[in-house]
Chains A and B, each alone.
Chain A
Amino acid sequence: MTPAEKKAEEFVITEEIIDELLECIWLTEERGSDMKDNRSAICSLVVEEDLVENPLVAEAALKQVLKFDYISMQGESVTLSNSGRERAKNIIRRKRLAEKLLEEVLAVGPVETRTTACRIEHVLSPEVTDSVCSFLGHPPTCPHGKPIPPGNCCKKLAHHMRPLVMPMTDLEPGRRARIVFIAPRDHGRMDRLSTLGIVPGTEILLHQKKPAFVIRAGETELALDTDIAGEIYVKAL
């Protein structure tokens, strides 16, 4: 037995590898590879992505995944079952949302984004995923322009595609909201707001937007410049 064969023999599948394999199948489908003999394409992608050490291990992994009813194999063609497709879709969704968050909102470099997103995709709960998605305004594509599969949160908000977290300037007058974060240009502004009780977590009612913003927090009514309001990010309630 060659060392490679030995590795394949000893290989034990993990949840993470299942994720990765399903992800690879999804990706090959997305690329439009011929479904009839995509098996080798999948195996080589799995190796390319450094998930397993050699094609033999990849084969072994595929075989083990078969047992979970996520995929079916006929000769050289591998297809996702319904449950497998669902799982793959969610992984891709988590990964691409993570990339979007890291690269576009948090401005993390592309290399760091890639490695972090690959780790995050395995751990995000459905709830957190939907929150991230809402936070980002239900983005249709990842930073590389690939589609992000929509989740439940996107369907719910299909009517008005409005992000859950938005600058107060986007909130409609008369609505209640909770402050999620404040991103001021200068520190003094935040200090002043905080002495008036305006901090993340505070619930506010947006009274009007013109000629100046007027908000109500508890029994405190405040008038604010539009540019300050634009730095206060809120979640509508």
Chain B
Amino acid sequence: MTAAQKYKKLLLIGNPNVGKSVIFGDLTGKYVTVSNYPGTTVEVSNGNAVIKGEQFVVVDTPGVNSLLPMSEDEQVTRDILLKEDFDHVLQVSDTKNLRRSLLITLQLSEMGIPFLMALNMADEAKDAGVETDFDALKDKTGVETISTVATRRKGMNKLRDAITKTRQSRLSIKYAPRIEYAVSKIEALLPDAKITKRSLALMLLGGDTSLKGWLHGNVEADVIDGIETIVKDTQRGFSESVGYVINRERLAVVDSVVKACQKKVERTDSGIRQWLGNATMHPVWGIPFLLFVLYLIYQFVGVLGAGTMVNFMERVVFGRLINPYAVKFFETVLPIAFLREIFIGPYGIVTMALTYAIAIVLPITGTFFIAFGMLEDSGYLPRLSIMLNRMFKMIGLNGKAVLPMVLGLGCCTMATLTTRIMETKKERVIVTLLLALGIPCSAQLGVIMGMLSGISPTGTLIWASVIVLTILLVGYLASMIIPGEASDFILELPPIRFPKLKNIGLKTVGRIEWYLKEAVPLFILGTLVLFAADKMRLLGLIEKAASPLVVGLMGLPEKATEAFLIGFLRRDYGAAGLFAMQKQGLLTPVQVVVALVTITLFVPCIAQFFVTIKERGLKVALAMIAFIFPFAVLVGAALNFGLNFFGVTLK
């Protein structure tokens, strides 16, 4: 027996936001981001688990509302069922929303895949007054069903005990005669596959274009033509789309099962949460609520994080403790001045890279991740989409794009992956571009907030207006230029929940760890580049060469070139460089605003660039960079010109 065979593979499948990632975390002990909005998981995660003495590889998948995919993240899940080998499937569902879950159950049944069900969030179902008759449900579906509250580990042991008791479901459906006829004709043309031909035929009839790639790999071109003809002929017989007719018939069956298995008693509206949920998306109160939320974040991240904590870390921890000791330490162990300077010089790993990464950026990102985790887990973000839907419509997107854009304020690299929840290619390209261009990540944003707090509030206003206007303008132009369509705004709103401190803690620690792993090496690399350039006297040359741009057009000191140089690696590092310059009194308030606008719009960091290549392709990624770099400089120059022209001093 090989190592690969020893592990059994367990797939977690289910609707979005039902708790697959929580169950995954409980089974494997590995934390994957858990939030309160549909579409948190856009990529597959694997983790090992020992369940009843057996070794398992557990696979967490993006949530699906249908196994006929409508977006890229849904396709990821369907493709796993279609193409990969696995031993067991666990369908995770939201107890109070059984109707939507059973739509997936029915499709798994049609695919001929044995599985079992976890009816999760039993506590919320109880609060909503939903009572489930498990015996009746098991009888109807024919599969093992366990009630769980994964966040509190309730029912998880029962689930572990039952995990291998997967069975083929007995739920089935006979569609309209014309559909059944077409299914039988398509079935005859299809090759054997991991899932039933019937389910494949239904997907094809439902208008699933994402299956084309698979078909081309498995059948001859003339067979594909034959299938397409059947699909077209069948569609002609219906005034509604066949996919819709199929779903409708499925829902009819599902409704009869729900009716037989669930009762809803008087709903006890949980007062405060209901009230909050309404206030956050209220046409009038929603806006003050948003401003209040922003104010709280500013107080927590901008004042506490970027102010108090950074000062403490920089002055006390690094200024009085670490750096003096490091200087002493390296002076004793490294007698050669040149080598010493690598660590403790003006471009030293300790005195520059680590000071920037840990003293300046870390307190800011840390506080931001905490605040952001609260936002994510409360269910506020999707409600924010409602408030901003109109604005996003102007730039060829819809409110759904709020999610990746706001996530970008955490980290644009992760947010670029989240663009998968957008339905059309055009939307994905626009969001990716705007993320690369104008959305500052938490690290950068924190540094920016810290710098802006040192000058007149008008400076903040100018910076924010320029960035927002630039995003709107570029978004608008991009929506005109990029071909394709915008999609509908149909967004599921999760219930308002009180964030669980444990999850916030886990999530924040995970993200900080990730930040340290990803950012610190790049900070060190950037410092080494500056050090080398300085020693080889290249830095001076580069500063001279860039002088017409930096000094002439943008009106900044020559030394700012260094910040932009390391900004090519990471924008937040570049911003931290500017922060240090401001502290040394090298920048006037106008220069601060110009430099910040430029660094905010500057090229994305290396990690984001690679993810952009992965998601959108090299050509698109390069085209974006080719646009962003000169554009950022141009906007900075224009702002400098404008501020000087009107004699704004911001003092």
Partner of B492, one of A187, A208, A220: A220
Give the residues in chain B near A157, CB-CB below 8 Å. Answer: none
Q: How distant is the Cα of A224 from the Cα of B248 in the complex, in angstroms?
A: 20
Q: Given A190-B244, A194-B248, A212-B489, does the pair A219, B96 have CB atoms closer than 8 Å?
A: yes
Q: Given A191, A218, A222, A223, which contacts B99 in the complex, CB threshold below 8 Å?
A: A218
Contacts of A188 in B (CB 8 A): 70, 241
- The residue on A at minimum CB distance from B64 is A195
Contact A211 B390 (CB under 8 A): yes
Within 8 A of B (CB), among A179-237: 187-197, 199-200, 207-208, 210-212, 214, 218-225, 228
Are A212 and B399 also in contact (CB < 8 A) when A192-B490, A194-B251 are? Answer: yes
Question: Which chain B positions have C-beta within 8 A of A196?
Answer: 65, 100, 490, 492
Q: B398 interface residue, CB < 8 Å from A?
A: yes
What is the distance, in angstroms, from B568's C-beta to the closest C-beta of chain A?
Answer: 39
Instruction: Tell me the complex Cα distance, A220–B93, Å.
Output: 13
What is the CA–CA distance of A188 and B66 in the complex, to the nearest angstrom? 13
Q: Could you tell me the distance between the alpha carbons of A200 and B386 in the complex, rounded to whole angstroms?
A: 25
Residues of the B chain whose Cβ atoms lie less than 8 Å from the Cβ of A210: 283
Closest B-chain residue to A185, C-beta based?
B488
Report the minimum CB–CB distance from B571 to chain A (whole Å): 32
CB within 8 Å for A223 and B241 given contacts A194-B247, A196-B490, A208-B283: no
Residue of B nearest to A189 (CB): B488
A200 to B489, CA, bound (A): 20
Q: How large is the interface on A (under 10, 10 to 19, 20 to 34, 35 or more residues)?
A: 20 to 34
Q: How far is B385's CA from A210's CA once the two chains are assembled, in angstroms?
A: 12
Least Cβ distance of B6 to chain A in Å? 38
Nearest to A187 among chain B residues (CB) is: B241
Chain A residues with CB under 8 Å of B389's CB are 211-212, 223, 225
Which one, B70, B386, B494, contacts A211 given CB within 8 A? B386
B-side interface residues, number (CB < 8 Å) = 42
Kindly provide the distance from the CB of A230 to the nearest chain B CB, expressed in whole angstroms. Answer: 12
Pick from A189, A191, A197: contact of B100, CB under 8 Å: A197
Interface flag for B294 (CB, 8 Å): no
A-contact bits for B228-242, CB 8 A (1 contact / 0 none)? 000000000000110
Closest-CB distance, A32 to chain B (whole angstroms): 45
Quick check: is B94 within 8 A (CB to CB) of the other chain? yes
How far is B553's CA from A221's CA once the two chains are assembled, in angstroms?
52
Contacts of B100 in A (CB 8 A): 196-197, 220
In whole angstroms, what is the CA distance A22 to B263 when docked?
53
Q: A188 to B208, alpha carbons, bound, how many Å?
A: 11
A residues within 8 A CB of B491?
A: 222-223
Interface centre among A188, A194, A225 (most CB of B within 10 A): A194
Q: In the complex the two chains form, is A193's CB within 8 Å of B286's CB?
A: no
Task: List residues of chain A with CB within 8 A of the CB of B103.
Answer: 195, 197
Q: Assess the A228–B244 pair: CB atoms within 8 A.
A: no
CB neighbours (8 Å) of B240 from chain A are 187, 190
A191 adjacent to B97 (CB under 8 Å): no
Q: Give the docked Cα–Cα distance between A221 and B383 (Å).
A: 11
Q: Is the CB of A191 within 8 A of B241?
A: yes
A202 to chain B, nearest CB (A): 8
When distances are taken between beta carbons in the complex, the residues of chain B under 8 Å from A197 are 99-100, 103, 251
A219 touching B493, Cβ below 8 Å: no
For the complex, give the distance between the alpha carbons of A144 and B533 in Å: 88
A9: shortest Cβ distance to chain B, in Å? 51
Known contacts A187-B207, A192-B70; A208 and B251 CB within 8 A of each other: no
Q: Is the CB of A191 within 8 A of B70?
A: yes
Question: A residues 151-169 with Cβ under 8 Å of B?
Answer: none
Enumerate chain B residues within 8 angstroms of A200, measured Cβ to Cβ.
248
Q: Does B438 contact A (CB under 8 A)?
A: no
With A and B bound together, what is the CA distance between A190 and B389 in angstroms? Answer: 20
Beta-carbon contact of A225 and B489 below 8 Å: yes
Chain B contacts for A225, CB-based, 8 A:
389, 398, 488-490
Asked if B281 CB lies within 8 Å of chain A CBs, one says yes
CB neighbours (8 Å) of A199 from chain B are 247-248, 251
Q: How far is the CA of A228 from the CA of B398 in the complex (A)?
A: 13
Contact A224 B97 (CB under 8 A): no
With both chains docked as a complex, state the minimum distance between the C-beta of B297 and any C-beta of chain A, in angstroms: 22
- What is the CA–CA distance of A189 and B390 in the complex, to the nearest angstrom? 19
Asked whether any CB of chain A lies closer than 8 Å to the CB of B373, the reply is no
A219 to B65, CA, bound (A): 14
The CA of A220 and the CA of B66, in the complex, are separated in Å by 15
User: Which B489-517 residues sit within 8 Å CB-CB of chain A?
Assistant: 489-495
Q: Contact at A208–B488, with CB atoms within 8 Å?
A: no
Q: Does B243 contact A (CB under 8 A)?
A: yes
Q: Provide the bound-state CA to CA distance between A210 and B489, in Å.
A: 14
Please give me the residue from chain A that is nearest to B130 by CB atom: A219
Closest to B246 in A: A194
User: Closest approach, in angstroms, between the C-beta of B426 and any C-beta of chain A?
Assistant: 15
CA distance A219 to B240 in the complex (A): 26
Q: Are B244 and A194 in contact (CB under 8 A)?
A: yes
B282 contact set on A, CB distance < 8 A: 208
Within 8 Å CB of A212, what residues of B?
A: 386, 389, 399, 489
Per a CB cutoff under 8 Å, which of A187, A189, A195, A208 touches B65?
A195
A191 pairs with B244, CB closer than 8 A? yes
CA distance A234 to B534 in the complex (A): 72
For residue B490, which residues in chain A have a CB less than 8 angstroms away from its CB? 189, 192-193, 196, 222-225, 228
Task: Collect the chain A residues with CB atoms within 8 Å of residue B66's CB.
Answer: 195
Residue of B nearest to A191 (CB): B243
Cα(A193)–Cα(B247), bound, Å: 10
With A187-B244, A195-B247, A225-B489 in contact, do A220 and B97 touch (Cβ < 8 Å)?
Answer: yes
Chain B residues with CB below 8 A from A207, complex form: 278
B206 in contact (CB, < 8 A): yes
Q: Does B382 contact A (CB under 8 A)?
A: yes
B375 interfacial contact with A, CB 8 Å = no
State whether A223 and B493 are in contact (beta carbons under 8 Å apart), knowing that A190-B244, A218-B97 are contacts in the complex. Answer: yes
Complex contacts, A192 vs chain B, CB 8 Å: 70, 488, 490
Say yes or no for B370: interface residue by CB 8 A criterion: no
- The answer to whether B386 touches A214 (Cβ under 8 A) is yes
Chain A residues positioned under 8 Å from B94 (CB to CB): 219
- Chain B residues within an 8 Å CB radius of A195: 65-66, 68, 70, 103, 247
Q: Closest residue of chain A to B287, judged by CB?
A: A211
At the interface, yes or no: B128 with Cβ under 8 Å from chain A? Answer: yes
B415 adjacent to chain A (CB < 8 Å): no
B449 interface hit (Cβ, 8 Å): no
Chain A residues, Cβ within 8 Å of B382: 223
What are the residues of chain A within 8 A of B251 when measuring CB–CB? Answer: 194, 197, 199
Binding site for B on A (CB under 8 A): 187-197, 199-200, 207-208, 210-212, 214, 218-225, 228
Interchain residue pairs A-B with the least CB separation, the first 5: A187-B241, A194-B247, A195-B66, A210-B283, A221-B493
> Given known contacts A192-B70, A194-B251, A214-B493, what 17 new A-B pairs fall within 8 Å (CB)?
A187-B241, A187-B243, A189-B490, A190-B240, A191-B206, A191-B241, A192-B488, A199-B247, A207-B278, A211-B286, A211-B387, A212-B389, A218-B99, A219-B128, A220-B100, A223-B489, A228-B490
12 A-B contacts (beta carbon < 8 Å): A187-B207, A189-B490, A194-B244, A199-B247, A200-B248, A220-B97, A220-B492, A221-B493, A223-B382, A224-B490, A225-B488, A225-B489
